[in-house]
Structure formats: structure tokens, C-alpha cells
Amino acid sequence: MVKNTAWHKSTYSDTGGHCVEVTEGVHTFVRDTQHRHLGHLAFPAAEWDAFLAALRRDTL
């Protein structure tokens, strides 16, 4: 579990209740806002940055 971490709603989340929260650092952790109890996914920062860049370019 990730403790003492400042989670924030992703800017890519919609306003219809389908949200993810992220915390960024050496690793980026992502979790479902409505199901926090199910845990999170972890990504190395470089991979997360590449994912966001692909989203911005609309190449996914």
C-alpha cells in the first residue's frame, strides 16, 4: 500500500464519476477513485510520461 502520499484526480478523468487518482514521483501510482480498496497500479515515471505523451498525440 502507498502511504503518506498526496493523491490527486487525474486531469484525464471525466466528470461522470469515472475517475482515477494518481500520485507521481520516482514511480507513478494509479487507482480507481470509486474502488480505492482494490489497490493501485505502479509504473516507472518514464513509462508514465511516455503514456501521457501518447495520449496527448492521440496515438494510442
- Number of domains the chain is built from: 1
Measure the CA dihedral 41/58/11/14, to 10°. Answer: -90
Instruction: With respect to residue 48, please indicate whether it lies within any of the assigned structural domains.
Output: yes
Whole-model pTM above 0.85? no
In a domain, 22, yes or no: yes
At 3 the pLDDT is 62
Across residues 40-51, what is the average pLDDT? 93
Residue 12 has pLDDT above 90, yes or no: no
Strands, E, within the chain: which ranges? 8-9, 20-23, 27-32, 41-44
Its domain, for residue 42, covers 8-57
User: What pLDDT does residue 60 have?
Assistant: 85
Averaged over 34-52, what is the pLDDT? 92
Q: How confident is the model at residue 41 (pLDDT cuts 50, 70, 90)?
A: very high
d(CA 18, CA 34): 8
